[in-house]
């Protein structure tokens, strides 16, 4: 891709996110989401490979469907309330539709099938953008509307995402798919705390980004794509191998690493709010995710 065109696409990507994050008008937020989506499509398909084209097409269809639901729900709400304010979701179907649409954009269970396939069809650098930057616009909208979203739907999405992500990640050999299921699992934890503590949501999101970006940068610098490549990482870069092991254990939430802190705080907050069954289920389902993180850590140490 021409460097000028690539820089223009990345600029539009950033601009769309900023518009969505700073908007209190539904139509402007929708425009920001559309700018963000249309800017990422050429970046996804820049390899000129059938798998990249397929991934870009899947991503476009899913994002457009979710954006259409968001636009419909906002128009429906504005028709009944007379306002386009994001924080005024008083019409009954609107919060549910909005939650489902944003979950679809993020890739939560059961609307998650597109995310691993898209991640596998693109290069590692673009996969980094999909799992980090592209999560920000929907998360900003969820943050603004958190107090008005249906708690039952949020908790169902959270439990199913943590369960399915751990279960599906166990039999994967492609690191990009594993990181896709890792993203789904962490988003499940964020949805579990969304209606209870928005500050803790931002903290969990920040910690997830700080752990995901370095691991992808290691994958990019070492051209690591599969678990087999991961087993040979020590021979080329012992420092990267050590960092990879630590980050994997942090993503799994092992104490005293940084990934344990947000999960501990979420469990404490849920327990304080008398949601002990939910906290117990999240803890049990996260053991599946911890299993494949530990498997990756073990694979990394095979050649040590």
Which tens digits make up the pLDDT trace of 44-92? Answer: 988 888 899 999 999 999 999 999 999 999 999 998 888 888 888 888 8
Give 240's pLDDT tier (boundaries 50, 70, 90).
confident
173 shares a domain with 83 = no
170 shares a domain with 68 = no
Q: How many CB atoms lie within 10 A of CB 172?
A: 20
Query: What is the Cα–Cα distance from 201 to 72, expressed in whole angstroms?
Result: 27
Give 231's pLDDT tier (boundaries 50, 70, 90).
confident
Give 302's pLDDT tier (boundaries 50, 70, 90).
low
List Cβ neighbours of 190 (8 Å cut-off, separation of 6 or more): 139, 158, 201, 204, 205, 208
220 shares a domain with 95 = no
What 8-state DSSP symbol labels residue 225? Answer: -
155 shares a domain with 117 = no
36 shares a domain with 115 = yes
Query: What is the Cα–Cα distance from 88 to 151, expressed in whole angstroms?
Result: 17
In tens, the pLDDT along 134-156 reads 999 999 999 999 888 999 999 99
Q: Which of 176, 186, 48 minimizes the C-alpha distance to 119?
A: 176
Query: What is the Cα–Cα distance from 262 to 6, expressed in whole angstroms?
Result: 35
pTM score, two decimals? 0.93
CB 157 within 8 A of CB 188: yes
Give the rounded distance of the alpha carbon of 139 from its chain centre.
Answer: 9
173 shares a domain with 74 = no
In tens, the pLDDT along 156-182 reads 999 999 999 988 888 888 999 999 999
Query: What is the Cα–Cα distance from 78 to 50, expressed in whole angstroms?
Result: 42
Give 296's pLDDT tier (boundaries 50, 70, 90).
confident
pLDDT attached to residue 236? 82
116 shares a domain with 201 = no
Residue 256's DSSP bridge partners are none
Residue numbers of the domain that contains 36: 1-123
Of 66-70, 102-106, 279-283, 293-297, minimum mean pLDDT range: 293-297
Structure tokens at 299: 């694979």
Asked if the structure places residue 93 within a domain, the reply is yes
Per-residue pLDDT at 304 exceeds 60: no
- Provide mean pLDDT across the span 259-288: 91
Asked if the structure places residue 129 within a domain, the reply is no
- Provide mean pLDDT across the span 285-291: 86
pLDDT attached to residue 255? 84
Domain count, the chain: 2
Per-residue pLDDT at 268 exceeds 60: yes
When the pLDDT of each residue in the chain is averaged and rounded to a whole number, the result is: 90
298 shares a domain with 155 = yes
């Amino acid at each position: 891709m021409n460097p000028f065109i690539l820089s223009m696409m990345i600029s539009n990507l950033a601009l769309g996110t900023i518009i969505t994050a700073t908007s209190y008008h539904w139509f402007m937020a929708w425009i920001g989401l559309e700018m963000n989506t249309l800017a990422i499509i050429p970046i996804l398909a820049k390899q000129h490979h059938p798998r990249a084209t397929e991934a870009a097409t899947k991503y476009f269809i899913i994002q457009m469907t979710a954006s259409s639901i968001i636009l419909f729900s906002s128009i429906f709400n504005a028709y009944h309330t007379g306002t386009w304010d994001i924080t005024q979701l008083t019409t009954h179907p609107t919060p549910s539709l909005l939650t489902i649409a944003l979950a679809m954009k993020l890739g939560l269970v059961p609307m998650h099938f597109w995310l691993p396939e898209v991640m596998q069809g693109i290069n590692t650098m673009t996969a980094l953008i999909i799992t980090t930057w592209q999560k920000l616009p929907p998360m900003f909208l969820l943050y603004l509307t958190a107090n008005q979203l249906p708690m039952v739907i949020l908790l169902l999405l959270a439990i199913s995402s943590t369960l399915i992500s751990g279960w599906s990640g166990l039999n994967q050999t492609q690191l990009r798919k594993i990181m896709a299921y890792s993203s789904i699992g962490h988003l499940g934890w964020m949805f579990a705390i969304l209606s209870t503590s928005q500050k803790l949501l931002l903290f969990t999101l920040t910690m997830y980004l700080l752990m995901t970006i370095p691991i992808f940068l290691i994958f990019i610098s070492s051209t690591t794509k599969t678990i087999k490549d991961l087993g040979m990482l020590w021979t080329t870069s012992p420092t990267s191998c050590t960092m990879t092991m630590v980050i994997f254990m942090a993503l799994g939430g092992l104490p005293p690493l940084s990934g344990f802190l947000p999960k501990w705080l979420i469990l404490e907050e849920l327990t304080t709010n008398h949601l002990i069954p939910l906290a117990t289920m999240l803890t049990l389902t996260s053991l599946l995710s911890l299993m494949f993180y530990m498997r990756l850590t073990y694979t990394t140490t095979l050649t040590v």
